[in-house]
Amino acid sequence: MNNEDELGLSETIQVHLKKSLSTIKADIENMLETIDQKECCILNEFEQIHSVFTDMQMTAASYYLNAYLSPYTDRYVALSTALQHLSERNHGALIVVKRNDALPSLVHSGIPVGADVSHTLLESIFYPGGPLHDGAVLVDKNQIVSAGNVLPVSKVLREGKLGTRHRAAMGLSEICDALILVVSEETGRVSFALNGTLYPVRPGEMDSRLVFSPDMAVPGGD
């Protein structure tokens, strides 16, 4: 069993997800009652259910990402801030956070940096047009080891179109336990790759202390 499989949800997150699931259950029951009505259009209901599911996935993924990162770096708030700012500006980014597996044979051609992790430094590295913005940053504990790194690209065929950054993130995650953070240059969406799978997250929620409180709102709820 992987360490990830042993991580449980906090009581606050459980309450939030249960409320969201209750909302979905009520929406589905309402659809079952009205679906036989010929004049009934249920497209809005489908959209609402999809929205709540997406919110639940992002909330859970943000929570787990915080849990996955915290044993390996104290700078996840700086990482979260950088990702949020990069996302808002649609600045593409690729950040590898080393965990247990050695990476020298998997991450190539980087330029040594050797500086503490800070959101300002990460944002400057990924500023469009800069000499290092197309490559990956390697983070080990609380230090940016190198930038402009080349990662192995996933060769697994998947549905949908994925850019080079996302395929590189997935490719590295398929062969080691590193966590790879990605910001899409096209959409600004943030995700992380783990075990060959991409999970969407909200960067502002990576520090669970800032957002996972008992009064979290449930989309589509009262």
Per residue in 71-116, pLDDT (tens digit) is 999 998 899 999 999 999 999 999 999 999 999 899 998 999 999 9
User: Between helices 43-69 and 11-34, what is the axis angle to 10°?
Assistant: 170
* pLDDT of amino acid 213: 41
Weakest mean pLDDT among 36-40, 100-104, 128-132, 217-221? 217-221
Segment 35-45 shows an average pLDDT of 75
d(CA 201, CA 182): 10
pLDDT tens sequence across 148-207: 999 999 878 666 678 899 999 999 999 999 999 999 999 999 999 999 999 999 876 665
**Residue 7 carries which DSSP code?**
P
* pLDDT of amino acid 137: 98
Weakest mean pLDDT among 12-16, 45-49, 193-197, 210-214? 210-214
- Mean pLDDT computed over every residue of the chain: 85
Percentage of residues in the chain having pLDDT higher than 90: 52
Strands 136-140 and 143-149: antiparallel
* pLDDT of amino acid 57: 85
* pLDDT of amino acid 210: 40
In the chain the domains, ranked by start, together with CATH numbers, are 11-67 (1.10.287), 74-201 (3.40.1700.10)
The confidence band for 217, taking pLDDT boundaries of 50, 70 and 90, is very low
Whether residue 53 has pLDDT greater than 70: yes
39 burial type by CB count under 10 A (0-12 exposed, 13-18 middle, 19+ buried): exposed
* pLDDT of amino acid 218: 38
Q: What is the pTM of this model?
A: 0.80
31 burial type by CB count under 10 A (0-12 exposed, 13-18 middle, 19+ buried): middle
Segment 50-62 shows an average pLDDT of 85
